[in-house]
Amino acid sequence: MKNTIRIERAIKNITQAELAEKVDVSRQTINAIEAAKYVPSAVLALKISRLFGKPVNEIFELEEGD
């Protein structure tokens, strides 16, 4: 699954740690999501999208084979 979290963080000028704190996960979780090594739960994806003020499908995108 592709995502634009790194870009969205840059736009809002927040670190992985700050994002993690706001959505109540570890910085390592955010890092793993950004690196496409971890697929977030629906609840976490919704929290992240709400924080960035965008629909989930603008932040997360299924890739071929997902």
CATH number, domain with residue 30: 1.10.260.40
6 close to 14: Cβ distance less than 8 angstroms: no
At residue 32, the pLDDT reads 98
Count of other CB atoms within 10 angstroms of residue 63: 8
Residue 27: which domain range?
A: 2-61
Residue 58, CA distances (Å) to 25, 28, 50 in order: 21, 22, 11
Q: pLDDT per position in the chain (66 positions), as tens?
A: 999 999 999 999 999 999 999 999 999 999 999 999 999 999 999 999 999 999 999 999 999 988
- Whether the pTM exceeds 0.85: the reply is yes
Residue 66 belongs to a domain: no
